Chain A
Amino acid sequence: MTDIICPLCGRPNPPDREECKYCQAPLKTSGFAASPEGSDDLHELFSTSGENTEPEKPPEPGASDLEQAIPDWLKETEASFKGKFEGEPEEPIPDELSGKPDSLLSPPSESPRPAGSAIDDEWLASLLDEAGVNQPDQATPEQPEQGKPFEESPEEAAWQPQSPAEDQIEPEAPESTPKAEKPLPAEPAQKPEWLTKLEASSNIKLEGGIPPAEPEQEKFPHTEALEEEPEQQTPPEWLAKSMPEEAAEPEKETEKKVEGEIAPAELPGWLEAMRPSEDLTPTGPVEDVSSEDIVTAGPLVGLRGVISAHPSAIKARKPPTYSIKLRVTDEQKARVELMEELLADEEKPTPLPSPPVISSRYIFRLVVAAILLLPIFWMIITKSQSSSTPQPGNIPGVTDFTQQIQHLPAAAPVLVAFDYEAGFSAEMNPAISNMLTQLMRKSAYLTIVTTNPSGPALAESMIADVYSQQVGSRQSYPYYADLGYIPGGTLGLLGLATSPKSVLPYALSGYNVWAGKPLDTISAVKDFSAVIVITNDADTARIWIEQIGPQLQSSEKPLLFVSSAQAAPMILPYYQAFPSQVQGLVAGLAGGVAYGRSIGNIQQNGIWDAYSIAVTISILILLVGSVAGGIVKLLASNKKEKS
């Protein structure tokens, strides 16, 4: 038993099923024949359905080729349909359905109709009666000429859809049937033209000819015409109009009389408007299908130029395989390469332009340095002394500084704080050396402290150098104690001011210097004969003044400063105040040179000339460079504004 192939999902189903078990689509209505699984024979798909398990009936003798080509299911459908209408209707059949349809296959038989009746179907006749269509006696539809297209007759124009304003809708008006201006054809019981044409075309397909398109000349009959000619056997005009024209003689319709007449219905206006337009002329096939094959099997048997349902017509074959290789022309290749080059350049990081090793700024710096340094070197090398050295009286604080030290008693304990940076040695060494010279001449006991980590080393070096210059040999000054570095900055000074023994109990050498003379009499900073602070930082000077100064003031002990030129402006107010908190000040190279003159130590190393020429050149560079730079900037900004 062959399985039924579902028309929807294509899966095989048992032959006894009416619906597909996969998609529940009906299996029998389409009339597809069961085909064995895997079969590619499409003929089996179009063979009789499984519902009809009976073997195929042999063709009736004398049946036409057309009848032989028609499948059995179609025949049976026609038979059942005919049978329905032959029996008594169970319920009153509506007028439009009262007439039995003609067989699609058998030629129309001439029914004993009363003469003049152009309507085969009684329901149609009733419709026409209701509409008051004229009988076919009045007019006969024109036979369309062969080959001419459909020509719209004036009557057909009446079937143009009318506007609602024009079309008066009368529900009870029997306008369901079109009005025929011309009477129905007088031939009784004729098949509809479309059917005859269909049969003719199928015959032609079988025979190989194409029936010429016949213009439809039959017009939609008016209801009045139909009513007037109820007995005509010809089909109504509207029906005739919609039928395709056929060249061959239309087959006679088999007419069946419908029991009882059906009163023509009144068509509503909108339905009237839906009548096919008389202007529309069905055209014949535009395609020349004369060379096409005629379908020999399936529901489209006899037709030409259609896809045959015969399985053999559709040759299933493997789909053609297409090469996946891209067909690229040379031009396209060239473009691709160009694009690849562009993208490759994008991926490559462009190296940042490296800054030039020698830039204009670098050269300018070298020029400035050379202009500054070369004269200095020259002065030092030649030990020039052309510039006048400053006088002690002209430098504020130098004279008082000298006098304060001069007034110290011999071997007096003096606290000296080396709180300057090694980098300021060149500027401050003249003043420091002169101070140490003066103190050593008085055999003062130097107590060295510092809040700078490099202070002890600086102090040791200076003391050794100065004493070696004094005695002429490398010896260490005997009257000093280096207590070393005081941590904590301000806090350390505060502790030193109140209790120096607890803050610095031992010297750098490891000895307890507080036990021996002269430090055994020292209990606080105020016990020292003087405090001399050597610093380059104004803040450090301020801390010493604020932390140590009050204690010294109470005991009227001098607080003296040796500072760099940069700190002098901040220390000078303390010196110039009244009462002054600083009793002497030697600031910078100028103060050191002046201080040296006051103690009779005039240096001959050309430092002062070098300093003088360096300052002069600096002034010149600043003046010329600033003016030139300003002018260039001004010109550039003007140029920018103009542009």
Chain B
Amino acid sequence: MDQALSMVTSYLGFLFILLCLGLILFFCFSDSAREKIKLRAIQAFSRYRREVDLAVEAGKRLHISLGRGTINELQGGSAFIGLTILDRCARAASNSDRPPIATSGDGTVMVLSQDTLQSTYRSLAAEQRYDPTNARFTGLTPIAFAAGAMPAIHDEHVSANILAGHFGTEVALLTEAGERSQSLTVAGSDSIPAQAVLYATAEEPLLGEELYAAGAYLGGGLAHTASLRMQDILRWVLVAAIIIGAILKLLGILA
């Protein structure tokens, strides 16, 4: 019994990952046969869609900032979300006079953003519109990254800024630049201090997990919706585990 318990404790993380994977695959196959599930309205994504259309009409461009997180760290998850948003933006604004630009503070993310843009345009048979300099590495340090992204907001005829990735408190510099250039800012970060700053400075902040739901809201595919449902279920599981653990701790059962 103890051995089993210790094995479960040792491989709890692995079991958790298997559970997540199983739920995603289950929902992928079950949702493929049913109609599209309804998601709660998030104003940021509604405004984002409108701004994409307005940007195309006005001949302006979109600015997608992927943050300074690297894929080797925990912040890599938000960087991948930023890449998904970049892909959707590039598709939506593929016929715009000014293609979207992507800024990042990490070399790996910069290379991935270039690859994302190129593959998107290739899939749209518009590879001639791809310009490698539309994916930019703006700075090595957080402040340098913010300082390098600010001119892109001011000088590149940006109509909307989508900040999706790992940002610190330096994101306030980007939101301020967006406000000065009278462009919409939709921003989300996985950093707690950054979310506090975004709540006060951004027009449409994405708090908590709303950033990770971007793929499902922007039509990323069945897997995004399935993973969103998986997150909803496991969130309740975690809530239950915390409450039960707190009660057990309170009762002295747990050491």
Contacts and interface: CB of A to CB of B under 8 A. Distances in A.
Interface string A405-424: 00000000000000001110
Contacts of B182: 355
Contact of B74 (A421, A423, A539): A539
Interface string A553-592: 0000000000000110010000000000000000000000
Contacts of A570: 192
A566 B140 CA distance: 21
Contacts, number: 39
B73 interface: yes
**Residue among A421, A488, A567 with most chain B CB within 10 A:** A421
Interface in B161-190: 168-170, 182
A488 B74 CA distance: 11
Contact of B72 (A423, A454, A488): A488
B193 A538 contact: yes
Contact of B140 (A453, A488, A489): A453
B142 A491 contact: no
B134 interface: no
A490 interface: yes
Contact of A422 (B141, B169, B193): B141
B75 interface: yes
B138 interface: no
A538 B141 contact: no
A421 B143 contact: yes
A452 interface: yes
B227 interface: no
Nearest to B73: A489
B116 interface: no
Contacts of A491: 72-73
A476 to B, nearest CB: 25
Q: Contact residue range for chain A? A: 10 to 19
Contacts of A454: 140-141
B191 interface: yes
A166 to B, nearest CB: 77
A134 B169 CA distance: 127
Nearest to B106: A489
Given A538-B192, A539-B191, A566-B193, A490 B72 contact: yes
B192 A421 contact: no
Contacts of B74: 490, 539, 543
A176 B151 CA distance: 107
B70 interface: yes
A220 B163 CA distance: 105
A72 interface: no
A96 interface: no
Contacts of A452: 141
Interface in A524-555: 537-539, 543
Given A355-B182, A490-B72, A566-B169, 15 more contacts: A422-B143, A423-B142, A423-B170, A453-B140, A454-B140, A454-B141, A488-B72, A489-B70, A489-B73, A491-B72, A492-B72, A538-B191, A538-B192, A543-B73, A570-B192
Closest 9 CB pairs of A and B: A489-B73, A490-B73, A489-B72, A423-B143, A491-B72, A488-B72, A566-B193, A453-B140, A489-B70
11 contacts: A421-B143, A422-B141, A422-B143, A423-B170, A452-B141, A453-B141, A490-B74, A491-B72, A492-B72, A537-B191, A538-B191
